[in-house]
Amino acid sequence: MPTGEISFHVLDVGQGACNYVEIRDTTGAVTHNMLIDLGTNSQFAIATANVQWLIGKIEANNNYLDLLLLTHGDTDHYNLVSRLLPAFGEPDHDKIGLVRYGGPRWRYGRGALITTLTAYTADIGGFAPCQSSFDPNTEAWAPIWPAVPVDGEPRLQLILADTPHPHDPSSMYETPRRTMNAEAINSKSVVTALQWDDYWILATGDATSTTLAAINEHFELAHTDDYPTTFMLTLPHHGSRKTTYDLKRANDLPDFDARWAVSDFLDLFKPITISISAGEKRHHHPSLYMIRQFADALTNDGSFWDDPVLNDGDHFLTSWIDIDVTPGFIEPAWPPKWQYATTKTKKNIYGTFYFKADQYNSAAYPQFIAPPLPSMPASQKERVVGVPRGRNYEFILSGAAAVSVRSSENGARNAVAEGAVRRSVPARPKGAFTISGRAQRSTTGGW
């Protein structure tokens, strides 16, 4: 039976990433499912409800997952996978159809997670440097899923994987290391596009300026710009200003070349909507400076989702304020830079870190629309209640060029105190993962 709908879920897991996909036929029955990343560097409690939701989804699909893609070996993209394993029941090689991961194997819990996953699948592996589904010479595509594509049916295209970086160590894939340059790790992020007919949805992982430039270069070799319409693009690296613009310090001003590379990338894919997965951490994601450039490139001004708490067609956006929000003639300028703040927007930008009630409802806190920028203060204060700190989003392709966005609350983020959100989970699991999610001593003899 042909596909009738695709749901691409961006789930709130705090400072981390989780994208879950369901493909349904015209009767509404799930025919395929896939998971792109599952991890957090916030408290696990923020992700608890969504992990349980995922377990229920997989159990309802006969304890099966068609595809698991781990974009790269940072813990906030994989360290919750072990908590999902009970959904598959007893391990055998037919629980996950395909497992793919970006970067070196040893980056995943010293290789232990990949070792564990081999018990659940018969097809697991990484990528070659700069591997892509797209051949710019022939302009032909070879999707990584499914194995035998069917005309008019969904497929997962590999935009680019394992981008080399100047700080890559020698023998990186063969020789485990205790440390590795963070930029080099993130540049290995696998960038994919879930395509169905004339639309696709791009998942970018923690892609950096190096990754974006490599994608631009690869696609510029072709003599076409006839690509599917990008309904949604995940904001690279949770909205990191530092890595997106290749800065030494996050508050440095990007140079012309760095902004131009981002502009080329946006011109290539022309997103309609953008999602952001982030948490309130020392990384200061997402950057409003970065959001503004991506927001200016959106190709649709009509909002796909409005917060029912508001009556003006807006929704909330919480970000790290690293630009001047107000015009120069407004005194005092708001807000002081280098803090998190909640604003409102009509732009199709949707963040899982959604609302800071203590700030927005403060008598000393002016209220603004941002982006677009610059912004004027609200003429009247409004106090809002019942707004969740975290939200999940569902980006829907329904065929016949029908697209939409839904949202649900993540109450688990409300239950975690601000101080707890800033603490990180252990960064380096030392053993293989068991079905219960508990660590055991690795028997692989190394990383």
Q: Measure the CA–CA gap between 419 and 281, rounded to whole angstroms.
A: 10
pTM of the model: 0.92
H or E stretch covering 50: helix 44-60
Give every CB contact of residue 404 below 8 A, 6+ residues apart in sequence. Answer: 304, 395, 396, 398
pLDDT in tens, the chain (447 residues): 899 999 999 999 999 999 999 999 999 999 999 999 999 999 999 999 999 999 999 999 999 999 999 999 999 999 999 999 999 999 999 999 999 999 999 999 989 999 999 999 999 999 999 999 999 999 999 999 999 999 999 999 999 999 999 999 888 898 888 888 899 999 999 999 999 989 999 999 999 999 999 999 999 999 888 999 999 999 999 999 999 999 998 889 999 999 999 999 999 999 999 999 999 888 889 999 999 999 999 998 889 999 999 878 899 999 998 988 877 777 666 666 788 889 999 999 999 999 998 888 877 777 888 888 877 777 777 888 889 999 999 999 997 668 999 999 998 888 775 444 333 333 333 333 333 333 333 323 222
Taking phi over 0 as left and psi of -120 to 50 as alpha, with beta for the rest, 430 belongs to: alpha
What pLDDT, on the 0 to 100 scale, is given for residue 446?
26
* Residue corresponding to tokens 């799930």: 30
Tokens at residue 228, please?
A: 């599917």
Q: Measure the CA–CA gap between 403 and 84, rounded to whole angstroms.
A: 29
Burial per residue of 196-214, b for 16 or more beta-carbon CB atoms within 10 angstroms, e otherwise: beebbbbbbbbbbbbbbbb
- Set out the domains of the chain in order of their start, with CATH numbers: 3-304+348-354+389-440 (3.60.15)
3-10 vs 391-397, strand pairing mode: antiparallel
Q: Measure the CA–CA gap between 103 and 74, rounded to whole angstroms.
A: 10
Greatest C-alpha distance within the chain? 66
Q: Measure the CA–CA gap between 84 and 73, rounded to whole angstroms.
A: 18
Tell me the CB-side half-sphere exposure of residue 358, using CA atoms within 13 A: 4
What pLDDT, on the 0 to 100 scale, is given for residue 371?
86
Q: Measure the CA–CA gap between 385 and 237, rounded to whole angstroms.
A: 31
Tokens at residue 442, please?
A: 């690795």
Q: Measure the CA–CA gap between 349 and 232, rounded to whole angstroms.
A: 10
Q: What are phi and psi of 269, to 5 degrees?
A: -105, -20
